[in-house]
Amino acid sequence: MVINKFRFIVDKPNLSEIDVRLGKSPLRYYAEYLHSQILTAICNNSPEDVLGRFYGEFIKYSGGDGQTLGIVLTPKHITELFVKLAEIKPSDKVLDPCCGTGGFLIAAMHEMLSSVSNEEEKAYIKRNNLHGIELNDKMFAIATTNMVVRGDGQSKLICKDFLKRDAELLRQNNYTVGLMNPPYSQGKNKTNAHLTELKFICHLLDSLADGGRCVVIVPQSTMVGKTKEDKADKQYILANHTLEGVITLNTSTFYNVGTNPVIAVFTAHQPHPADKLSKFVDFKNDGYEVFAHIGLMPTPKAEELRKHLLDCWFQGKSAPNSFIVRSTVEADDEWLHSFYYFNDEIPTAADFEKTMADYLTFEFNMLTHGRGYLFEEAIVGKEVCNG
């Protein structure tokens, strides 16, 4: 399948003909460039999904961006955050059931390999601990190529429909970590209601080992769950699994896509305790900004802000409610920071003085414009209520 996707290289003779401007064939020119500039970085266990970035750039000019299929590739800083939230260890068995170009698997591999020095352990991780499923054949070809050039991780990727795979059979593989960016906005009506993001989440949780850690990135609307079917899925999750928390992300995370994403973290096969305090974080200020002609890029504060998030998430570091709220949850709740947030700051004397000054300024302005009757009506209304 992978060879067929690249067969166009053989079938187009002009790629192998000498180009006088290059002094060699275009195929040789690009092969040499990729070998000297790109391949080394990939083979050195870089966490960057290089082929995914190439794909993302090329589809901008292809007349279609893949979004009719719900394809949204995950940025590198998000895949790296995923492996931290999942607390990935070298002994983990990772499943990405919608692996796309392999970004999550690459980030997981980088994290696991950086924790071991023994070459045999590294080889074992690549051969056995990274598993992916991808329905789109083009994406599958890229993901497989990604893993091939990084060293024998390709044998655990399959080109199948994840939702049609039996969860109990997948569970027998003892996956300890699930990472997923499912297709977006596919379940829009009754005929494709089985393709909602919540259906993917439920199926992934059911497919993991007991106590498996699950991290997903989905649109905010998924955590709202307005429809009857969505609420039933959220109730199913709470009855069978645990919601650890939800992180609201920068609205520009998927730059030019128009999706406001959140990261949701779960523990599989542990029913959600009624008194559990799940974490809800407003991480829209993540230190990443959109720069003209470049796109989304980190600012000097990005690393510090990520560390603060992880300290609050794992270490219980104190932070204002405007950043993190800990709350019990119900299926009918909107699993978002904005739903649980409340302002717990007591007004200061300065706040009182400013409010009074604003009111007196407003009253004086109305009086000077001949509208003093507004305050007379307010006084009369108050007397009527008291009477």
Q: Sketch out the chain's domains with CATH numbers.
A: 1-44 (no CATH), 49-340 (3.40.50.150), 349-386 (no CATH)
Q: Quote the CA–CA distance of 309 and 188 in Å, as a whole number.
A: 33
Average pLDDT over residues 139-164: 81
- 3-state SS, residue 100: coil
Q: Which residue has the higher pLDDT, 186 or 351?
A: 351
Average pLDDT over residues 295-303: 93
Contacts for 152-159: CB closer than 8 Å, 24+ residues apart: 152/123, 152/126, 152/127, 153/105, 153/109, 153/126, 153/127, 155/127, 156/127, 156/128, 156/130, 156/131, 156/132, 157/99, 157/102, 157/131, 157/132, 157/133, 158/132, 158/133, 158/134, 159/1, 159/134, 159/135
Supply the pLDDT for residue 56: 66
3-12, 32-41, 190-199, 200-209: range with highest mean pLDDT? 200-209
Question: Alpha carbon of 24 to those of 7, 30, 34: distances in Å?
Answer: 21, 10, 15
Question: How would residue 366 be classed by pLDDT, with cut points 50, 70 and 90?
Answer: confident
Average pLDDT over residues 103-121: 90
Among the ranges given (145-149, 263-267, 364-368), the one the predictor scored with the smallest mean pLDDT: 145-149
Supply the pLDDT for residue 152: 59
CB 95 within 8 A of CB 82: no
- Please state whether the predicted TM-score (pTM) of the whole model is above 0.75: yes
Among the ranges given (51-55, 178-182, 315-319, 333-337), the one the predictor scored with the smallest mean pLDDT: 51-55
Strands 94-96 and 130-133: parallel
Q: Name, in order, each residue with C-beta under 8 angstroms of 165's C-beta and a sequence gap of 6 or more.
A: 97, 133, 207
pLDDT score of 345 more than 70: no
Q: Quote the CA–CA distance of 336 and 299 in Å, as a whole number.
A: 26
Supply the pLDDT for residue 121: 92
Among the ranges given (31-40, 79-88, 122-131, 148-157), the one the predictor scored with the smallest mean pLDDT: 148-157
Q: What is the pLDDT of residues 198-254, one digit of tens each?
A: 999 999 999 999 999 999 999 999 999 888 899 999 999 999 999 999 999 999 998
Q: Quote the CA–CA distance of 82 and 101 in Å, as a whole number.
A: 16
Q: In what order do the strands lie in the sheet with 177-180?
A: 157-158, 130-133, 94-96, 177-180, 213-219, 261-267, 242-249, 278-283, 324-327
Radius of gyration of the chain (CA): 26
